[in-house]
Amino acid sequence: MSHDSITDAPATPQDAATDLTAWRRRIVALAMKLVWNRDDAEELTQEAFVRASLKRLTPGDACFGPWLMRTVANLCVNHRRRKRPEPLTEASLERAGARVQPPYDDVDRMTRLRTQLEQLPDQQRIALVLRGMEGLDYEAIAEIMDLSAAAVRTHVHLARKRLLELSHERDRA
Amino acid sequence: MSACDAFRDQIERRIDGLLDAEFEASLAAHLSRCRECRDYEQAQRALSVDLTMLSRVAHELTTPSVAANPTGSGWIRIATRAAAIALVILGTWTFVRKPNAMPIAPSSPPIAGTSNAPQLERPPIRFAAHVEPLDATTRFAVPIETDNPRVHVVWLYDSLNEIQEPAPASAPSL
């Protein structure tokens, strides 16, 4: 994707074609962060693109990116898991750039965080994934979630607070 | 909202890179004397780092190394299906020749007072012409269809090699 903002439109049809591929990759990655199964993520991405084509949206449309991300996020939270989440392994963490060292508790920590994320209310989970994992700013997330930036900030704050509480509860147990 | 709550909001803004410079000094002064808020900031930073790492892992899982070689992956899939079809044909042929070798559970002992009850006939067995890979790295299951929808029989194989070179069909897993 050659644009910094998710709302920038491509300049030429070639850019649009390139963007379509890049968008697909990006949407699969977002879906993966919400369902944690590659097959399901690709299937839900496909569904989102089908819906976009039915609405005749193209990468040239300014609303294409936010609409696609909102659609796939909603599909993901309404999705009934049919397949097991992909296992997180030391190898996958190392490939992702983690320095996996003794006592090798990184895999446990990441798996635990993933489970705790799934316990959050849907809006909080989507907001935190878009902010903390996708790295989007609050205005961009607000456009995707069709909320105000202040509301998004509240969702992110509550999500972070809840994750810390869950972590503390586990430490106490 | 307590003083700490207000500073914790500023801590999150600072982690997000959104804290106005005018609040930096007061926040630093508060953190120097409030251990709980220092712990809160540390926990928030750790969470932020972990979320970033989890994001990288998700990207890694959407582009596994096997996906970089689709030809090889496709070949394995075709080989698996071909091996499964060959196994189905071989299995059917075996059981046609030896009908007593059907993989069924041993019959239960008779219940007292029911010795004259009519015996149920064994359901005829048909093989489904497909393989369901339960997991890419562990087992393959060959479903065996029966006429009874409540009876599900599968034959488990621990590896692709086992399917390619089937052992004598004496002790199928149920």
Omega before residue B110 within 30° of 0, cis: no
Check pLDDT > 80 for residue A71.
yes
- pLDDT at res. A75: 95
What are the backbone angles phi and psi of residue B125, rounded to the nearest 5°?
-110, 130
Check pLDDT > 90 for residue A27.
yes
As a whole number of angstroms, the distance between CA B39 and CA B167 comes to 61
**Which range (A12-26, A76-90, B128-142) has the least confidence?**
B128-142
Contacts of A15 (CB under 8 A, 6+ apart): A2, A59
User: Does the pTM exceed 0.90?
Assistant: no
Q: What stretches in chain B show pLDDT beneath 70? A: 1, 64-174
Contact A157 B56 (CB under 8 A): no
DSSP B112: T
Check pLDDT > 70 for residue A33.
yes
What residues form DSSP beta bridges with B126?
Answer: B145
User: Which of B12, B40, B49, B57 would you mutate first to test chain A, the one with the most A CBs within 10 A?
Assistant: B57
Contacts of A35 (CB under 8 A, 6+ apart): A41, A44, A76, A79, A81, A85
How many Å is the maximal CA-CA distance in chain B?
Answer: 93
Check pLDDT > 60 for residue A89.
yes
As a whole number of angstroms, the distance between CA B107 and CA B7 comes to 72
What residues form DSSP beta bridges with A140?
Answer: none
As a whole number of angstroms, the distance between CA A5 and CA B82 comes to 48
Name the closest residue on chain A to residue B42, using Cα atoms. Answer: A164
Contact B51 A113 (CB under 8 A): yes
Query: Shortest CA distance to B12 belongs to which of A24, A91, A159?
Result: A159
DSSP B132: E
Average pLDDT for residues A59-63, to the nearest whole number?
Answer: 84
Q: Is B145 helix (H, G, I), strand (E, B) or coil?
A: strand
As a whole number of angstroms, the distance between CA A143 and CA A63 comes to 9
- pLDDT at res. A15: 65
- What token pair was written down for A20? 């379509």
- pLDDT at res. A79: 85
> Pick from B16, B48, B58: which is nearest to A33 by CB?
B58
As a whole number of angstroms, the distance between CA B22 and CA B11 comes to 14
User: Which of B54, B55, B65 would you mutate first to test chain A, the one with the most A CBs within 10 A?
Assistant: B54
- pLDDT at res. B133: 52
Q: How far does the CA of residue B59 sit from the closest CA of chain A (Å)?
A: 6
- Show residues of chain B in contact with A138, CB under 8 Å: 16
Average pLDDT for residues A9-34, to the nearest whole number?
Answer: 79
CB pairs under 8 A between A and B: 74
**Which range (A9-13, A66-70, B47-51) has the least confidence?**
A9-13
Q: Sort strands B153-157 and B125-127 into parallel, antiparallel or unpaired.
A: unpaired
Query: Shortest CA distance to A24 belongs to which of B20, B63, B38?
Result: B63
- Show residues of chain A in contact with B48, CB under 8 Å: 132
As a whole number of angstroms, the distance between CA A93 and CA A150 comes to 34
Please report which confidence band the pLDDT of residue A2 belongs to, taking 50, 70 and 90 as the band edges.
Answer: very low
Per-residue pLDDT tens over the stretch A106-150: 888 899 999 999 999 999 999 999 999 999 999 999 999 999 999
What are the backbone angles phi and psi of residue A127, rounded to the nearest 5°?
-60, -45
Under 8 Å between Cβ of B28 and B35 = no
Residue keyed to tokens 């895999």: A107
